[in-house]
Amino acid sequence: MKDFIFSLAFSLLSINSFCQDFWEPINNPGVHIYDMTVDPQGRIYLATWDENLGGIYRSDDNGETWQHKNNGIPYLYTRAIAFYRDSTLFTSLFSKLYRTSDLGENWQLVYEHFPEATSFDVIRCGFDSIILVGGENSRGMLRSVDNGETWENVLNLYNDDYQEHITDIAFGPNGIIYACSRFTNSWSDEQPKVYSSIDYGKTWIPFLNLTTPSAYYSLDFDNNGRLLVGSWNGIYRFDFVLNSWEYIAINSSVMDFQVVPDNRIFLACDQSAGFGGVLLSEDGGDTYPIVLNNGLIYNSAGQFAVDAIGKLLMYPPGSSIIYKSQDTIITASHIINDLEFRNKLLVCYPNPFKNHIIFKSTINQSSKVEILDQSGSCILTFEMEPLQEYLFEAANLSPGLYIAKIESEKQLQIIKLVLNKYHNQY
């Protein structure tokens, strides 16, 4: 959902005019929706549950009609779904993971764990062919780097005093992976956490660990490269340049973010903590004064996606209703329909960086790399040789956000770089 928008950050334009009713309900399969994703060709996928009609649904016509795609899935209770690459997606059931290699036509079991029942509620696919699945308790995080053939449990969250559950995972523009959690039951003063991994998801350590009551639901990055954490009563924002956290109070549980390249940020808010519906910031996330609930049947929002023509999709938590914005939120100045956004051309580390950063090619072909400053001016261009490394020295640059734009014959990749000369590197 988020990678699609993030990868087009420099080729997207935004439209500011809205209709009187921002939202309109669209056709839906009539089942409870747990997760939603859109592939690079614009096909929409739903992970749903229903005692008679649950499972996976796919729309090839932007939500006009839906096809039930459950071949190989044994029961009608799917939790999460994620697009990986080519025609491959992953979905989860209790204690099981399934993979499709043909856009959902057929599903194969790739992981199961018994007798402990584990709810796998989030699947994220990111750089370096990494697939991460967020679970709970002793199966807190599963990791695969071989297209889902084998899985390793890399995060044990088991504790006698609480039951901890991973709610979101984000592959950061800094090369670090983040995850957040909530408690489903607790008999202690411990609180959920935001975790980070600096070794591509192999090991995890706490990144945000408050002593005050908290719960975390969503992660994203704003256009300045700051980490956004949606909590039960607001947003925590981490500035990598200043090495500091900021709390933005919102009387709502922030379930999802949609960051738009023109500095707007949409919030999906569940009404359990107060306000329910959609909030909009037009100042990069400093304030959220605009309510976008016109057209909603109930004032509640759970998750966003963006359809093939740049309209915003949203469904409320546990609902069967799908909404679409009447206006186009994002339009592409050029669209590459066959772009594999998760098949990265290169990786870079460390990021944030202090004096230098290393770019490492991950493909067996050349690519062109441009380093841009925040104004969009190119400060460096170089050719990336196949499977080689390039050391970028930044001693003469000012601290701040930079962009690496990488292009091969058929692919485009965008990476946000954070130059920070004032604290030790992660």
Reply yes or no on whether the pLDDT at 4 is more than 50: no
Amino acid at 114: F
- Summarize the confidence of residues 10-16 as an average pLDDT: 38
Give the pLDDT score at 15: 39
> What does the alpha-carbon distance between residue 172 and residue 195 come to, in Å, rounded to a whole number?
12
- Superfamily for domain range 23-336: YVTN repeat-like/Quinoprotein amine dehydrogenase (2.130.10.10)
Domains 23-336 and 344-419 share a fold: no
DSSP 189-214: S----EEEESSTTSS-EEEE--SS--
Which runs of consecutive H residues, i.e. helices, occur in 235-343? Answer: none
What is the total residue count of the chain? Answer: 426
Report the range of poorest mean pLDDT among 126-130, 309-313, 385-389: 126-130
Segments making up each domain of the chain, as ranges: 23-336, 344-419
CB 227 within 8 A of CB 426: no
Confidence band (pLDDT; 50, 70, 90) for 126? Answer: confident
CB 212 within 8 A of CB 203: no
Dihedral angle computed from the Cα positions of residues 320, 324, 330 and 331, in that order, rounded to the nearest 10 degrees: 110
Task: Specify whether domain 344-419 bears CATH 2.60.40.3080.
Answer: yes
Amino acid at 412: L
pTM greater than the 0.85 cutoff: no
Among 198, 101, 172, 178, which residue's Cα sits nearest to residue 134? Answer: 178
Contacts (Cβ under 8 Å, ≥6 apart) of 351: 172, 173, 174, 175, 176, 357, 415, 417, 418
pLDDT digits (tens, 9 = 90+) for 45-101: 999 999 899 999 999 999 999 999 999 999 899 999 999 988 999 999 999 999 999
Give the pLDDT score at 201: 94
How many of the other CB atoms lie within 10 Å of CB of 294? 15
Amino acid at 223: N
Give the pLDDT score at 321: 97
